[in-house]
Amino acid sequence: MEVNDAQIVAAIKKGDEAVINYAIDQYSKLLWSIAGTILKNVGSTEDIEECVADVFIHLWQKPEKFEEQRGKLKSYLVVVARSRATDRYRQLSKQAAISLDETLLLEHLEIVEDIPSAEAKHTLLSAVNSLDEPAREIIVRRYYYEQKPKEIAFCLDMPVKQVENHLYRTKQKLRNIIVIQDGGFDL
């Protein structure tokens, strides 16, 4: 069956299941690749499958959203897949950052090895937990989950430079807290 984009959308509007199956056969591999690239570090195979399925459900339920004069159906589906995968990436990334274990956080903060006392380490953890958002989340993502500034920027929907600035200022703030609390100790 060889059909053009307008015929596919028209048939879907009429509820033709054979045509939606044709679209699935034609574009699944491409959409899987798009979603897989975005979700590879945080999502499972099921998350990728769900994103691809969501794209076809969107096409089935809202075929009128596709505007032929704006481009090809293939391009439209790629945009929808990217959007769904990006949303899913953000959702999964935020879920991963919710819980903090005191010992693990202290082990992963790279400045902790230089802190001489357990009390100062506890002060550092308290200081991290008292940070305002997004500074706290940026520090936790960087030193606990070991995400690069580019990944953090993507997850939090902010420029990379802003993430780097937050990291720099927050580390300075934490150093000052430890210096004051621990009587002259310097990170």
Domain borders along the chain are 5-96, 102-181
Q: Please determine, for residue 98, whether its predicted confidence score (pLDDT) is greater than 50.
A: no
The pLDDT tens digits for 8-42 are 889 889 988 989 999 999 999 999 998 988 887 77
Q: What percent of the chain has pLDDT over 70?
A: 78
Whole-number mean pLDDT of the chain? 79
C-alpha span between 152 and 60 (Å, rounded): 34
Q: Residue 77: which residues within 8 A CB-CB, separation 6 or more?
A: 23, 27, 30, 31, 55, 59
Would 5-96 and 102-181 be classified into the same CATH topology? no
pLDDT of residue 111: 47
Find the mean pLDDT for residues 105-119.
Answer: 51
User: What pLDDT is stored for residue 1 in this prediction?
Assistant: 54
The predicted structure's pLDDT at residue 100: 45
Binned at pLDDT 50, 70 and 90, residue 80 comes out as: very high
Residue 185, pLDDT above cutoff 50: no
What is 5-96's CATH number, 1.20.1560.10, 1.10.1740.10, 3.40.50.720, 3.40.50.620? Answer: 1.10.1740.10
Q: What is the pLDDT of residue 127?
A: 79
CATH top-level class of 102-181: mainly alpha
List, for residues 49-66, the tens digit of each pLDDT value: 999 999 999 999 999 888
Q: Which own/partner contact pairs does 123-130 have at CB distance under 8 Å and 24+ positions apart?
A: 123/177, 123/178, 123/181, 123/182, 124/174, 124/177, 124/178, 127/173, 127/174, 127/177, 127/178, 128/174, 129/100
* Verdict on whether the full-model pTM lies above 0.85: no
The yes-or-no verdict on residue 183 having pLDDT over 60 is no
pLDDT at 28: 93
